Amino acid sequence: MAQVRIGNGYDIHQLVAGRSLILGGVKIEHELGLLGHSDADVLTHAIMDALLGALSLGDIGHYFPPTDPQWAGADSLQLLAQVAELIQAQGWQVGNIDSVVVAERPKLKGHIAAMRDRLATVLQIQPEQIGIKATTNEKLGPVGREEGIAAYAVALLEAI
Ligand code: MG
């Protein structure tokens, strides 16, 4: 059996007026967007933490601290590309990623194919290696009240 490592990641960002909603590198039309130091792409952040976690490399806050003006408004896909480079440099490749976005609104179904394409391109893998599921929180808690959007991800890495 190939040498493998598994990691998991979680993230949540507040929904506010006057910000863009970007998930998996895809800009989605909505009256609210996610608040954060970077573009606040909660799905990409959860995936980055899963990838880093698989190799016990810490978390995204360590590499891209929210206090560093260098990452203000950063395109999270560019941060993901840096994480991908780090993983490859350590001798690992992505086997597969699975993820869940928890959002009461908007409906994400029509955007998932585009998100998989964008993430796969950055990670230099096939879209078939990335699972993205969307669910609501059944109106429960802060996500259910549309105060934020959360994302969970797991990643399996294989030794090159
Ligand atoms: Mg985040």
Model pLDDT for residues 38-84, shown as the tens digit of each residue: 999 999 999 999 999 999 999 999 999 989 999 999 999 999 999 99
**How many A from CA of 152 to the centre of ligand 1?**
11
Is the full-model pTM beyond 0.85? yes
**How many A from CA of 73 to the centre of ligand 1?**
12
Position 147 pLDDT exceeds 70: yes
How do residues 1-38 score in pLDDT, each as one tens digit?
A: 679 999 999 999 999 999 999 999 999 999 999 999 99
Specify the residue for token string 């606040």.
Answer: 40
What pLDDT sits at residue 1? 62
Position 94 pLDDT exceeds 70: yes
Token reading at 139: 């109106």
Q: What average pLDDT does range 134-147 have in this prediction?
A: 98
- CATH code assigned to 4-159: 3.30.1330.50
| pLDDT-derived band at 155, boundaries 50, 70, 90 | very high
Exposed, middle or buried by CB within 10 Å (0-12, 13-18, 19+), for 55?
middle
**How many A from CA of 40 to the centre of ligand 1?**
6
Helices marked H in the chain:
42-54, 60-63, 76-89, 112-123, 141-144
The residue ranges of every structural domain in the chain are 4-159
What pLDDT sits at residue 33? 98
Q: What is the CA radius of gyration of the chain?
A: 15
**How many A from CA of 51 to the centre of ligand 1?**
14
Residues around ligand 1, an ion, CB closer than 5 A: 11, 45
Specify the residue for token string 């994480």.
Answer: 83
Evaluate whether 158 touches 2 at the Cβ level (below 8 Å). Answer: yes
